[in-house]
Structure 1
Amino acid sequence: MQDRQTCGLRGEDGRRCGGALVDAPAPVCRAHAAVIGDWVAAEYGVTDVLPGACRACGSRLGVRYPSAWVCAACEWPVGDVLDDGLPPPRVDIVYYLRFGDRIKIGTTANPRQRLARLWHDELLAFERGDRLTEHRRHREFAASRLGRSEWFTASRDLEEHVRGLAAGVEDPWARYARWLGEAAALRG
Protein backbone atom coordinates (compact mmCIF):
# COMPACT_ATOMS: atom_id res chain seq x y z
CA MET A 1 0.00 0.00 0.00
CA GLN A 2 1.23 3.49 -0.91
CA ASP A 3 2.18 5.91 1.84
CA ARG A 4 -0.22 8.88 1.54
CA GLN A 5 2.64 11.26 2.35
CA THR A 6 4.80 10.39 -0.67
CA CYS A 7 4.57 10.74 -4.46
CA GLY A 8 2.56 7.97 -6.08
CA LEU A 9 4.09 8.22 -9.58
CA ARG A 10 6.69 5.83 -10.90
CA GLY A 11 10.09 6.72 -12.26
CA GLU A 12 11.55 5.57 -15.58
CA ASP A 13 12.83 2.43 -13.85
CA GLY A 14 9.24 1.50 -12.90
CA ARG A 15 9.72 1.95 -9.16
CA ARG A 16 7.52 4.18 -7.09
CA CYS A 17 9.02 7.68 -6.65
CA GLY A 18 8.33 8.13 -2.93
CA GLY A 19 9.30 11.84 -2.99
CA ALA A 20 7.71 14.31 -0.57
CA LEU A 21 4.35 15.69 -1.72
CA VAL A 22 3.70 19.26 -2.73
CA ASP A 23 0.35 20.93 -2.13
CA ALA A 24 -1.33 19.75 -5.35
CA PRO A 25 -4.65 18.17 -6.34
CA ALA A 26 -2.84 14.89 -7.00
CA PRO A 27 -0.21 13.00 -4.94
CA VAL A 28 2.95 14.24 -6.72
CA CYS A 29 6.37 15.44 -5.62
CA ARG A 30 8.06 18.68 -6.69
CA ALA A 31 10.03 17.00 -9.50
CA HIS A 32 6.96 15.33 -11.01
CA ALA A 33 4.91 18.53 -10.61
CA ALA A 34 7.61 20.36 -12.63
CA VAL A 35 7.53 17.70 -15.37
CA ILE A 36 3.72 17.93 -15.52
CA GLY A 37 3.89 21.75 -15.60
CA ASP A 38 6.39 21.69 -18.49
CA TRP A 39 4.19 19.26 -20.39
CA VAL A 40 1.06 21.41 -19.88
CA ALA A 41 2.94 24.55 -20.99
CA ALA A 42 4.18 22.83 -24.14
CA GLU A 43 0.84 21.21 -24.96
CA TYR A 44 -1.58 24.03 -24.06
CA GLY A 45 0.63 27.12 -23.79
CA VAL A 46 0.86 29.70 -21.03
CA THR A 47 -1.29 32.84 -21.15
CA ASP A 48 0.82 35.94 -20.58
CA VAL A 49 1.25 39.55 -21.68
CA LEU A 50 2.61 39.75 -25.23
CA PRO A 51 6.03 41.36 -25.78
CA GLY A 52 4.18 43.97 -27.89
CA ALA A 53 0.68 44.60 -29.22
CA CYS A 54 -0.65 42.06 -31.74
CA ARG A 55 -0.17 43.43 -35.25
CA ALA A 56 -3.44 41.91 -36.42
CA CYS A 57 -5.87 43.05 -33.70
CA GLY A 58 -3.95 45.15 -31.15
CA SER A 59 -4.51 42.84 -28.17
CA ARG A 60 -1.79 42.66 -25.50
CA LEU A 61 -2.68 39.17 -24.26
CA GLY A 62 -0.93 36.16 -25.74
CA VAL A 63 -0.28 32.46 -25.33
CA ARG A 64 3.36 31.41 -25.09
CA TYR A 65 4.36 28.01 -26.46
CA PRO A 66 7.93 26.65 -26.49
CA SER A 67 8.06 27.32 -30.25
CA ALA A 68 6.33 30.71 -30.49
CA TRP A 69 3.78 33.22 -29.20
CA VAL A 70 0.24 33.61 -30.56
CA CYS A 71 -2.28 36.32 -29.81
CA ALA A 72 -4.82 35.09 -27.25
CA ALA A 73 -7.59 37.16 -28.89
CA CYS A 74 -7.17 36.40 -32.59
CA GLU A 75 -4.51 33.63 -32.65
CA TRP A 76 -2.27 35.59 -35.03
CA PRO A 77 1.29 34.22 -34.72
CA VAL A 78 3.45 36.90 -33.10
CA GLY A 79 6.21 37.87 -35.48
CA ASP A 80 4.24 37.06 -38.63
CA VAL A 81 4.24 40.18 -40.74
CA LEU A 82 1.04 41.66 -42.07
CA ASP A 83 1.37 43.03 -45.58
CA ASP A 84 1.90 46.71 -44.75
CA GLY A 85 0.73 47.66 -48.24
CA LEU A 86 -2.76 46.44 -47.45
CA PRO A 87 -5.32 48.37 -45.44
CA PRO A 88 -6.35 46.90 -42.08
CA PRO A 89 -8.73 43.97 -42.43
CA ARG A 90 -12.40 44.90 -42.61
CA VAL A 91 -14.90 43.00 -40.52
CA ASP A 92 -18.51 44.17 -40.65
CA ILE A 93 -20.45 43.58 -37.46
CA VAL A 94 -23.96 44.10 -36.17
CA TYR A 95 -23.90 45.56 -32.67
CA TYR A 96 -26.51 45.48 -29.93
CA LEU A 97 -26.48 48.33 -27.39
CA ARG A 98 -28.69 48.93 -24.38
CA PHE A 99 -29.73 52.42 -23.32
CA GLY A 100 -32.31 52.36 -20.56
CA ASP A 101 -35.07 49.98 -21.65
CA ARG A 102 -34.21 50.26 -25.35
CA ILE A 103 -31.86 48.25 -27.55
CA LYS A 104 -30.16 49.58 -30.66
CA ILE A 105 -29.34 47.28 -33.56
CA GLY A 106 -26.79 48.86 -35.87
CA THR A 107 -23.89 47.93 -38.10
CA THR A 108 -20.36 49.18 -38.63
CA ALA A 109 -16.92 48.13 -39.81
CA ASN A 110 -15.32 50.30 -37.11
CA PRO A 111 -17.11 49.53 -33.84
CA ARG A 112 -14.75 51.42 -31.51
CA GLN A 113 -15.25 54.65 -33.40
CA ARG A 114 -18.99 54.11 -33.90
CA LEU A 115 -19.79 53.10 -30.33
CA ALA A 116 -17.76 56.02 -28.95
CA ARG A 117 -20.25 58.35 -30.67
CA LEU A 118 -23.39 56.67 -29.33
CA TRP A 119 -24.93 57.16 -25.91
CA HIS A 120 -25.41 53.74 -24.37
CA ASP A 121 -25.40 52.02 -21.00
CA GLU A 122 -24.06 48.66 -22.12
CA LEU A 123 -22.65 46.82 -25.12
CA LEU A 124 -24.72 43.64 -25.21
CA ALA A 125 -23.27 41.68 -28.14
CA PHE A 126 -21.65 41.66 -31.56
CA GLU A 127 -22.81 39.57 -34.48
CA ARG A 128 -20.76 39.11 -37.60
CA GLY A 129 -22.69 40.64 -40.48
CA ASP A 130 -23.23 43.65 -42.71
CA ARG A 131 -26.21 45.84 -43.60
CA LEU A 132 -28.10 42.83 -44.95
CA THR A 133 -27.87 41.10 -41.54
CA GLU A 134 -28.81 44.33 -39.80
CA HIS A 135 -31.93 44.71 -42.01
CA ARG A 136 -32.89 41.09 -41.32
CA ARG A 137 -32.73 41.77 -37.59
CA HIS A 138 -34.76 44.97 -38.02
CA ARG A 139 -37.47 42.97 -39.83
CA GLU A 140 -37.24 40.08 -37.33
CA PHE A 141 -37.91 42.40 -34.37
CA ALA A 142 -40.15 44.91 -36.21
CA ALA A 143 -42.95 44.47 -33.66
CA SER A 144 -40.81 46.19 -31.01
CA ARG A 145 -39.18 48.79 -33.31
CA LEU A 146 -39.50 52.43 -32.27
CA GLY A 147 -40.67 54.25 -35.39
CA ARG A 148 -38.24 53.92 -38.27
CA SER A 149 -35.19 54.16 -36.03
CA GLU A 150 -32.64 51.48 -35.16
CA TRP A 151 -33.96 51.45 -31.59
CA PHE A 152 -36.22 48.73 -30.24
CA THR A 153 -38.14 48.11 -27.04
CA ALA A 154 -36.36 45.38 -25.10
CA SER A 155 -38.82 42.60 -25.98
CA ARG A 156 -38.50 39.01 -24.79
CA ASP A 157 -37.65 37.78 -28.33
CA LEU A 158 -34.96 40.41 -28.86
CA GLU A 159 -33.41 39.81 -25.45
CA GLU A 160 -33.37 36.03 -26.12
CA HIS A 161 -31.61 36.67 -29.44
CA VAL A 162 -29.01 38.87 -27.74
CA ARG A 163 -28.49 36.28 -24.97
CA GLY A 164 -27.89 33.64 -27.65
CA LEU A 165 -25.26 35.83 -29.33
CA ALA A 166 -23.57 36.56 -26.01
CA ALA A 167 -23.64 32.97 -24.72
CA GLY A 168 -20.12 31.87 -23.87
CA VAL A 169 -18.65 35.27 -24.75
CA GLU A 170 -17.22 37.12 -21.76
CA ASP A 171 -16.13 40.13 -23.80
CA PRO A 172 -17.61 41.10 -27.20
CA TRP A 173 -14.42 43.04 -27.95
CA ALA A 174 -12.35 39.85 -27.67
CA ARG A 175 -14.67 38.18 -30.17
CA TYR A 176 -14.25 41.15 -32.53
CA ALA A 177 -10.45 40.97 -32.16
CA ARG A 178 -10.59 37.28 -33.09
CA TRP A 179 -12.63 38.11 -36.20
CA LEU A 180 -10.04 40.75 -37.18
CA GLY A 181 -7.23 38.23 -36.76
CA GLU A 182 -9.08 35.65 -38.84
CA ALA A 183 -9.68 38.22 -41.58
CA ALA A 184 -5.98 39.19 -41.56
CA ALA A 185 -4.94 35.52 -41.72
CA LEU A 186 -7.27 34.81 -44.64
CA ARG A 187 -5.78 37.54 -46.78
CA GLY A 188 -2.20 36.69 -45.78
Structure 2
Amino acid sequence: MPLCGGHVALVTDTAAEQVGTEDALPGPCPVCGSRLGVRWPTATTCATCEWPWGDVPDGELPPPRVDVVYYLRQRDDFGDRVKIGTTANPRQRLAAVPHQELLAFERGDRRVERRRHAVFATDRYPRTEWFRTTPALLAHVATVAAGVEDPWALHARWTSEALALRG
Protein backbone atom coordinates (compact mmCIF):
# COMPACT_ATOMS: atom_id res chain seq x y z
CA MET A 1 0.00 0.00 0.00
CA PRO A 2 1.64 3.27 -1.07
CA LEU A 3 1.76 6.03 1.57
CA CYS A 4 2.42 9.72 1.32
CA GLY A 5 5.42 11.21 3.13
CA GLY A 6 3.33 12.42 6.07
CA HIS A 7 1.82 8.98 6.65
CA VAL A 8 5.21 7.27 6.35
CA ALA A 9 6.54 9.61 9.06
CA LEU A 10 3.49 8.91 11.24
CA VAL A 11 3.92 5.13 10.88
CA THR A 12 7.65 5.44 11.63
CA ASP A 13 7.02 7.54 14.75
CA THR A 14 4.33 5.14 15.99
CA ALA A 15 6.60 2.13 15.47
CA ALA A 16 9.49 3.86 17.25
CA GLU A 17 7.28 4.49 20.29
CA GLN A 18 6.74 0.75 20.66
CA VAL A 19 10.41 -0.30 20.58
CA GLY A 20 13.17 1.41 22.51
CA THR A 21 16.83 1.33 21.53
CA GLU A 22 19.40 0.13 24.06
CA ASP A 23 22.20 2.60 24.54
CA ALA A 24 24.65 3.72 27.21
CA LEU A 25 23.34 6.30 29.64
CA PRO A 26 25.28 9.59 29.76
CA GLY A 27 26.19 8.71 33.36
CA PRO A 28 25.27 6.15 36.02
CA CYS A 29 21.59 5.83 36.94
CA PRO A 30 21.02 7.83 40.16
CA VAL A 31 18.87 5.01 41.56
CA CYS A 32 20.67 1.75 40.75
CA GLY A 33 24.01 2.81 39.22
CA SER A 34 23.49 0.98 35.91
CA ARG A 35 25.08 2.49 32.80
CA LEU A 36 22.70 0.82 30.33
CA GLY A 37 19.67 2.75 29.13
CA VAL A 38 16.81 2.54 26.67
CA ARG A 39 16.17 5.49 24.34
CA TRP A 40 12.57 6.20 23.43
CA PRO A 41 11.35 9.04 21.18
CA THR A 42 10.16 11.00 24.21
CA ALA A 43 12.66 10.02 26.96
CA THR A 44 15.53 7.78 28.03
CA THR A 45 15.12 5.33 30.90
CA CYS A 46 17.48 3.09 32.84
CA ALA A 47 17.42 -0.41 31.36
CA THR A 48 17.77 -1.97 34.81
CA CYS A 49 15.30 -0.09 37.01
CA GLU A 50 13.43 2.01 34.39
CA TRP A 51 14.13 5.28 36.22
CA PRO A 52 13.68 8.19 33.76
CA TRP A 53 17.09 9.64 32.89
CA GLY A 54 17.31 13.21 34.06
CA ASP A 55 14.92 12.79 37.00
CA VAL A 56 16.80 13.27 40.24
CA PRO A 57 15.62 11.44 43.36
CA ASP A 58 14.98 13.85 46.22
CA GLY A 59 18.18 13.57 48.24
CA GLU A 60 16.54 15.03 51.34
CA LEU A 61 14.16 12.11 51.62
CA PRO A 62 15.36 8.81 53.04
CA PRO A 63 15.56 5.96 50.54
CA PRO A 64 12.28 4.08 50.22
CA ARG A 65 11.81 0.96 52.30
CA VAL A 66 11.67 -2.15 50.14
CA ASP A 67 11.31 -5.30 52.24
CA VAL A 68 12.55 -8.51 50.65
CA VAL A 69 12.71 -12.15 51.56
CA TYR A 70 16.07 -13.50 50.46
CA TYR A 71 17.23 -17.03 49.70
CA LEU A 72 20.95 -17.71 50.24
CA ARG A 73 22.82 -20.93 49.57
CA GLN A 74 25.73 -22.14 51.69
CA ARG A 75 27.81 -25.25 51.11
CA ASP A 76 30.20 -26.08 53.95
CA ASP A 77 31.02 -28.76 56.52
CA PHE A 78 27.39 -28.64 57.67
CA GLY A 79 26.14 -29.57 54.20
CA ASP A 80 24.19 -27.84 51.48
CA ARG A 81 21.64 -25.48 53.00
CA VAL A 82 19.47 -22.48 52.19
CA LYS A 83 18.78 -19.50 54.43
CA ILE A 84 15.39 -17.82 54.20
CA GLY A 85 15.54 -14.38 55.77
CA THR A 86 14.14 -10.90 55.40
CA THR A 87 15.57 -7.40 55.35
CA ALA A 88 14.90 -3.87 54.18
CA ASN A 89 18.63 -3.39 53.49
CA PRO A 90 19.81 -6.45 51.54
CA ARG A 91 23.32 -5.19 50.70
CA GLN A 92 24.16 -4.64 54.34
CA ARG A 93 22.43 -7.81 55.54
CA LEU A 94 23.90 -10.15 52.92
CA ALA A 95 27.37 -8.76 53.58
CA ALA A 96 26.98 -9.95 57.18
CA VAL A 97 25.74 -13.48 56.37
CA PRO A 98 28.29 -16.03 55.10
CA HIS A 99 27.01 -17.60 51.88
CA GLN A 100 28.19 -18.67 48.45
CA GLU A 101 25.17 -17.76 46.35
CA LEU A 102 22.21 -15.42 46.35
CA LEU A 103 19.45 -17.54 44.85
CA ALA A 104 16.56 -15.08 44.78
CA PHE A 105 14.73 -12.11 46.22
CA GLU A 106 11.02 -12.18 46.88
CA ARG A 107 9.13 -9.04 47.73
CA GLY A 108 7.84 -9.34 51.28
CA ASP A 109 8.35 -8.68 54.95
CA ARG A 110 8.40 -10.77 58.15
CA ARG A 111 4.92 -12.16 57.45
CA VAL A 112 6.05 -13.62 54.12
CA GLU A 113 9.24 -14.90 55.73
CA ARG A 114 7.24 -16.64 58.49
CA ARG A 115 4.98 -18.27 55.89
CA ARG A 116 8.02 -19.61 54.02
CA HIS A 117 9.48 -20.89 57.30
CA ALA A 118 6.18 -22.65 58.05
CA VAL A 119 6.01 -24.26 54.60
CA PHE A 120 9.51 -25.72 54.92
CA ALA A 121 9.46 -26.28 58.72
CA THR A 122 10.21 -30.00 58.47
CA ASP A 123 13.51 -29.21 56.72
CA ARG A 124 14.59 -26.45 59.11
CA TYR A 125 17.74 -26.68 61.20
CA PRO A 126 16.57 -26.14 64.80
CA ARG A 127 16.59 -22.54 66.09
CA THR A 128 17.99 -21.12 62.81
CA GLU A 129 16.74 -19.69 59.53
CA TRP A 130 18.68 -22.35 57.61
CA PHE A 131 16.93 -25.18 55.78
CA ARG A 132 18.05 -28.44 54.21
CA THR A 133 18.28 -28.15 50.44
CA THR A 134 15.37 -30.28 49.28
CA PRO A 135 13.74 -30.60 45.86
CA ALA A 136 10.64 -28.81 47.21
CA LEU A 137 12.65 -25.86 48.51
CA LEU A 138 14.69 -25.61 45.31
CA ALA A 139 11.47 -25.76 43.26
CA HIS A 140 10.03 -22.89 45.30
CA VAL A 141 13.21 -20.83 44.83
CA ALA A 142 13.14 -21.58 41.09
CA THR A 143 9.56 -20.31 40.94
CA VAL A 144 10.48 -17.13 42.82
CA ALA A 145 13.53 -16.57 40.59
CA ALA A 146 11.80 -17.45 37.31
CA GLY A 147 12.68 -14.97 34.59
CA VAL A 148 15.15 -13.08 36.79
CA GLU A 149 18.80 -13.27 35.76
CA ASP A 150 20.06 -10.98 38.51
CA PRO A 151 18.20 -10.59 41.82
CA TRP A 152 19.98 -7.26 42.39
CA ALA A 153 18.50 -5.84 39.18
CA LEU A 154 15.06 -6.86 40.42
CA HIS A 155 15.71 -5.14 43.75
CA ALA A 156 16.84 -2.01 41.88
CA ARG A 157 13.58 -2.04 39.93
CA TRP A 158 11.53 -2.35 43.14
CA THR A 159 13.47 0.55 44.66
CA SER A 160 12.92 2.63 41.54
CA GLU A 161 9.19 1.85 41.60
CA ALA A 162 9.00 2.84 45.27
CA LEU A 163 10.77 6.13 44.49
CA ALA A 164 8.44 6.82 41.57
CA LEU A 165 5.33 6.06 43.65
CA ARG A 166 6.56 8.37 46.37
CA GLY A 167 6.68 11.21 43.86
Q: Please tell me whether residue 65 in structure 1 is matched to residue 44 in structure 2.
A: no
Structure that is richer in helix per residue:
2
Deviation at 1:11, TM superposition (A): 6.2
The yes-or-no answer on 1:133 pairing with 2:112 is: yes
Aligned residue pairs, count: 157
1:180 aligns with 2:155: no
1:38-92 Cα distance to aligned partner (Å, 9 max, x none): 8765431111221122222322221111322111122111111222221111101
Matching of residue 148 in structure 1 with residue 127 in structure 2: yes
Q: Per-residue deviation at 1:167?
A: 0.8
- Which of 24, 31, 37 is matched with 1:56 structurally? 31
Amino acid in structure 1 at the alignment position of 2:133: A
Name the SS for the 2:143 alignment partner: helix
Structure number with bigger Rg = 1
> Cα gap change, 1:175/1:94 in structure 2, threshold over 3 Å: closer, same or farther?
same
Task: Using CA pairs under 8 Å that are at least 6 residues apart, name the structure with larger relative contact order, 1 or 2.
Answer: 2
Q: 2:99 matched to 1:120? A: yes
Which structure 2 segments of 5+ residues have no match?
Answer: 5-10
CA distance in 2 between counterparts of 1:182 and 1:149 reads 32
Is the partner of 1:77 in helix, strand or coil? coil
RMSD: 2.0
Q: For residues 165 and 120 of structure 1, what CA distance do their matches in structure 2 show?
A: 19
* Counterpart pick for 1:80 among 52, 55, 58: 55
- Runs of 5+ in structure 1 lacking a partner? 1-9, 14-35
Contact 1:59 1:177 in 2 (8 A): no
Write the distance in 2 (CA, Å) between the matches of 1:93 and 1:37.
42
Does the 8 Å CA contact 1:97/1:104 hold for their aligned counterparts? yes
User: Structure 1 length normalisation: TM-score?
Assistant: 0.76
